[in-house]
Amino acid sequence: MSQRINTETGQPVQRTHDTDAQFERITRGFAAPDVVPGGGAVGRAGAIVSASSGINVLAGLWLIVAPWVAGYSGQTGATWNEVAVGVAVSLIGLCRMLAPISTMMLSLVNLVLGAWMIVAPWLPNLHTGVTALSVWNQVITGIVIAALAIWSASSSVAGTRDRTA
């Protein structure tokens, strides 16, 4: 068995746990921080942020493919709006999943994008001649994105509060 060396002192580090399983058994039940150095979620707040952001990734992907799946891709303004917002929402959701607490402000960007999707069907220069299916898809998906962004941001605030307490 190799021995670890402390890089600051040059002295051998004494191992207290031979396996990760032993360490897991000993530490089970203790409160863990919401963020570990690699940015992964550990606590409840981080799990909520990751889950809501994961659903936002799916909502963004849906916006990207919806014009072709639902058959209204001929409406170029609505199609490109959905594709652009879908890409942004998906990328933001992915960033939030990877670093749930430290990227809280990105949820506010997703909130704005969700609100944009709700009002965009009624903007005359962007959506002339849109179908009811296109309007409903944008409004419902916008509501989902905005609601998940609020849930994600509020969980981040709770996680930050728990971590600093």
Other CB atoms within a 10 A radius of the CB of residue 4 amount to 9
pLDDT tens-place string over residues 108-164: 999 999 999 999 988 876 766 678 888 899 999 999 999 999 988 887 765 544 444
Closest CA to 139 of 118, 120, 123: 118
Other CB atoms within a 10 A radius of the CB of residue 32 amount to 11
R_g (Cα) of the chain, nearest Å = 22
Other CB atoms within a 10 A radius of the CB of residue 83 amount to 18
- 3-state DSSP percent of the chain in helix, strand and coil, to 5: 65, 5, 30
Does the global pTM surpass 0.75? no
pLDDT tens-place string over residues 18-39: 555 555 555 554 444 444 444 4
141 against 105, higher pLDDT: 141
State the average pLDDT for the chain: 77
